[in-house]
Amino acid sequence: MGGGGSKQAQLERYGHLLSPRERHAVETTFTDIAGSPDASFLTQQQLNAYLTGLLYPPSTTDRVSRGIFLALGGGDKAGVDFPNFIQFASQLLRGSLTQRSQRLHILTSGHLDLLRETLQALLANLCDSSSPTSPWVLSSPQCLASLVDFLTKPLGDVGVAGGRSLTVGEVESWLASSVAVERILDVAFGTCFYNRTLTSSEDAPPEIAAHVGHPVRVDEEEGGGKLDTQRVLVPLLIPHATQRDPSPSSSLLSAAALLMINSFLPAEIRGQLYPLFLSSQHGKSFSTLCKGLVGSGPCLLVVRDYGGHVFGGFAAVSWQFGPQFTGSSECFLFSLHPNMAVYTVTGYNDHYMYLQQTAQTMPNGLGMGGQLEYCGLWLSAEFDSGHSKGRPHCTTYGSPSLSSSEEFSVDTVEVWHVGSPPPPPEQSDGAGQSILDKDKVAGHILEMAGKTRHSEGLREPPPDDN
């Protein structure tokens, strides 16, 4: 590729897919790698030194760096010139699906094992940089490998296909079929090619706005107003915890697990988690669990059984007591350990969510999927046991049994509200409510028994605010 013309002309010619801000960021990254603003090419050694700080474990750096060097057009040459670097970044970050697939295929030499190794190295960087005070469990290499297994499953069984070659068409089909992979690669490669900072929080790369349902406001740092891509881009894939009580921490959720789960959440609620119930703090109490989650909006339920399996479900709407299943098609079940997977709705039925606490003729407990007594996920109201049944699969979510055995004993349970924190309880003082208004369970029992609420309609209307 010709290198004639000024750098500005080369930027505009070979980086036309990028915005002006992005072109400047990629140019800055090239300068940082090459070590001089006057440099016109970079060497394999310089690229290695740069990637050493971005890839984990370090043993992957040489192999992945070599793949990137070849993809950049280095080949047997002494270095990669500026136009090749800009064009590669432009097509990988902003190109068509075919262009991105071609670049990713070259980057991994068309080998599934190198694709998996590159993906795991990028994921390790994302998970490690989520926050120095992260409340999430450390993402172990085994956890990251499990996530890579889940993400690359459409490309073939790992045990059989781990060393096979991939065609560009297979890579393109994989990217087209996996929204989670596309989001993860957007941010992973963005943190590489946009370097550590952008010159302004204005007109930031589309990743910042593309993965959430509302504009992202970034406070400018003192002294220069630079935007840290690790600090801003990563939380869009790995939510941060918000709380009213100090120091909430999870014993079940890792950054890698959240990276997977968050990619399946509705866009408008990604980015924040708020603890509603942690059995490690609140004890094993089903009534306390219900108090935390009823009426609290979308939330994640995470369970660990005494066999060590970790699994759960996403409730897209507020939990409510009642004799019928509720919820929406945005609900899903997931497995976190020993394997990672997400199971979305099949469309077979709408048995998304069920909750009862003091019913006389209905099962008391929390369920997701399947049918009563045979749920994809069930916690009994006694809070000591549950079941996860699916032979061969849960009819609602298509999931297999998620627990260590179909009938399991509960070790730990966590519930996290998803999205902005729910209003504090003190904002609802219950004024003007009857006992049945406050005790929804009692109201449902009366309705199931066919009893009439005689006081309904006799109370005085609420006072006019005016």
Compute the average pLDDT of residues 358-372: 93
Residues 309 and 375 in one domain: yes
**Single-letter code of the amino acid located at 231:** R
Q: Per-residue DSSP letters for 333-371?
A: EEEEESS-EEEE--SS----BEEESS-SSS--EEEEEEE
Q: pLDDT, tens digit, for every residue of 366-397?
A: 999 999 999 999 999 999 999 999 888 999 99
Is residue 449 included in any domain, yes or no?
Answer: no
Asked if 347 contacts 309 with a C-beta cutoff of 8 angstroms, the reply is no
Confidence of residue 59 (pLDDT cuts 50, 70, 90): low
Bridge partners of 412?
A: 304
Distance, in Å, from the CA atom of 228 to the CA atom of 184, rounded to the nearest integer, reads 18
- The answer to whether residue 194 scores a pLDDT higher than 80 is no
Domain containing 329 equals 271-418
Mean predicted confidence (pLDDT) in 21-36: 88
**Any idea what DSSP says for residue 251?**
S
Listed in sequence order, the residues at least 6 apart from 303 whose beta carbon sits closer than 8 Å to its beta carbon are 252, 310, 311, 312, 377, 379, 386, 403, 410, 412, 413
Given a cut of 60, is residue 160 above it in pLDDT? no
Check whether residue 25 and residue 83 sit in a common domain.
yes
Query: Which range has the top average pLDDT, 132-141, 162-171, 404-413?
Result: 404-413
Whether residue 223 sits in one domain with residue 287: no
Same domain as 98, residue 13: yes
Quick check: 203 pLDDT over 60?
no
| Domain co-membership, 199 together with 283 | no
Is residue 230 domain-shared with residue 277, that is, in the same domain? no
In terms of domains, do 284 and 221 share one? no
Averaged pLDDT, 24-40: 89
When mean pLDDT is compared across 83-97, 158-172, 252-266, the lowest value belongs to 158-172
Among 197, 183, 381, 361, residue whose Cα is nearest residue 264: 183
Same domain, 134 and 189: yes
Average pLDDT over every residue of 282-310 = 94
Instruction: Quote the number of domains for the chain.
Output: 2
pLDDT, tens digit (0-9, with 9 covering 90-100), for 96-127: 999 999 988 988 888 898 888 888 888 887 77
pLDDT at 73: 73
